[in-house]
């Protein structure tokens, strides 16, 4: 076997072993084994002197070439182990971390959508204080002094005649006092009731109330406005059902059901197989309320309606627990991003 064959064999062996090295330590050992002063390559080079001049030249050049190749391989293999330990190393193939932008809370979004729909129908938006007086919350709205809603069980009293408003309807007398007809307003906002917290009830929730006062306003106008809203909000071709009801501040009063938008009235879990969903309360503003605000109830009439934002959101997005809105669980909230 010639010297050239030995050198070629050595190169092959060295490259294979460098490839298989699994640590910096084993690489160092290999480097000593092949390129060190007492290493394999040196041992071969020592035999060069015994060769004829021509052969010696060719073998020497070949040996030097292999030394360079192996040195480069060792360099690359060493980088493979050292670079990983470097904290500034950037691996562009890893998935990014990303930043999620904040989103509007689902309740604010649904409230905004309700307002937007009525705004398109010519309603102005008005807001009132959370801490309300007994007068605007109850008396101006024709609640008799012994009405059960004034009871300690329903109302959070603050001090004196102050309380946390139990509905957004107090904005109605507040705005009517300030304005001249026609008055066409919706009042979105937070309300408070002293209730046991459950899947269906919470101590704080949101309402959107609306009303119109002018000459010659009829129940037909109310119906038209609500049909237009419900179809714009829940979907075309919905049917509305008006059931007689009672509120101190409206006469006559009605509860409105819409045909279930999920099953189209056929019956499903959402509508409890009735085909109908209870959605809002409404009626013609009680003459006493108009008189309380300084309006001639012989000349002016008006309608009013109100709905719970949580209830609308729960129906629209099939959410089964009102407490989810207030838990600030990002996994829940991000679904509506
Ligand atoms: Zn249904």
Question: Is 125 within the bounds of a domain?
Answer: yes
- Asked whether residue 258 is assigned to any structural domain, the reply reads yes
Q: Give the CATH number of the domain where residue 159 resides.
A: 3.30.930.10
Give residue 114 CA to ligand 1 midpoint distance, Å.
21
Q: What angle do CA 41, 43, 46 make, to 5 degrees?
A: 110
Pair (25, 160) in one structural domain: no
pLDDT in tens, 180-238: 999 999 999 999 998 888 888 888 999 999 999 999 999 999 999 999 998 888 888 88
> Both 16 and 53 in a single domain?
yes
- Ligand 1 mean position to 17 CA, how many Å? 72
pLDDT in tens, 141-152: 998 888 877 776
List, for residues 94-132, the tens digit of each pLDDT value. Answer: 888 878 788 899 999 999 999 999 999 999 999 999 999
Indicate whether this model's pTM tops 0.75.
no
Q: Is the Cβ–Cβ distance between 295 and 213 less than 8 Å? A: yes
- In percent, the amount of the chain with pLDDT more than 90 equals 45
Distance 280 CA to ligand 1 centre (A): 17
CA separation for the pair 169, 207 (Å, rounded): 9
Please give the residue that has the higher pLDDT: either 152 or 241: 241
pLDDT digit string, tens, across residues 28-48 = 888 888 888 888 888 887 887
Give the residue from 85, 120, 140 where a domain finishes: 85
Residue 1 predicted with pLDDT over 70: no
Domain of 13, in residue numbers: 3-85
The verdict on 117 and 35 lying in the same domain is: no
C-alpha dist (Å) from residue 9 to 66, 172, 207, 309: 11, 98, 87, 82
Q: How far does the centroid of ligand 1 lie from the alpha carbon of residue 308, in Å?
A: 19
In a domain, 304, yes or no: yes
Q: Which position has the higher pLDDT, 245 or 320?
A: 245
Same domain, 329 and 254: yes
């Amino acid at each position: 076997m010639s010297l050239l064959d030995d050198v070629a064999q050595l190169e092959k062996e060295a490259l294979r072993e460098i490839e298989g090295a699994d640590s910096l330590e084993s690489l160092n050992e290999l480097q000593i084994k092949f390129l060190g002063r007492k290493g394999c390559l040196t041992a071969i080079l020592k035999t060069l002197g015994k060769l004829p001049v021509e052969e010696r030249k060719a073998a020497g050049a070949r040996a030097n070439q292999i030394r360079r190749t192996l040195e480069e391989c060792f360099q690359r293999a060493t980088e493979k182990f050292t670079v990983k330990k470097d904290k500034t190393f950037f691996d562009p193939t890893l998935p990014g971390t990303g930043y999620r932008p904040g989103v509007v809370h689902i309740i604010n979004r649904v409230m905004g959508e309700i307002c937007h729909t009525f705004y398109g129908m010519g309603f102005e938006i008005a807001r009132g204080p959370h801490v309300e007086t007994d007068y605007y919350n109850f008396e101006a709205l024709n609640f008799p002094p012994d009405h059960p809603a004034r009871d300690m069980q329903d109302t959070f009293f603050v001090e004196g005649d102050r309380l946390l408003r139990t509905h957004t309807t107090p904005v109605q007398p507040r705005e009517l006092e300030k304005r001249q007809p026609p008055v066409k307003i919706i009042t979105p906002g937070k309300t408070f009731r002293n209730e046991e917290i459950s899947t269906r009830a919470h101590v704080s929730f949101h309402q959107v109330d609306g009303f119109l006062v002018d000459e010659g306003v009829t129940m037909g106008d109310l119906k038209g406005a609500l049909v237009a809203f419900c179809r714009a909000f829940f979907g075309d071709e919905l049917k509305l059902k008006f059931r007689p009801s009672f509120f101190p501040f409206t006469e006559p009063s009605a509860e409105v059901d819409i045909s279930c938008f999920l099953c189209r009235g056929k019956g499903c879990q959402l509508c409890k197989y009735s085909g109908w969903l209870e959605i809002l309360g409404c009626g013609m503003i009680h003459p006493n309320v108009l008189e309380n605000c300084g309006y001639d109830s012989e000349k002016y009439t008006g309608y009013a309606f109100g709905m719970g934002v949580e209830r609308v959101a729960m129906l629209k997005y099939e959410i089964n627990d009102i407490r989810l809105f207030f838990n600030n669980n990002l996994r829940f909230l991000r679904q509506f991003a």
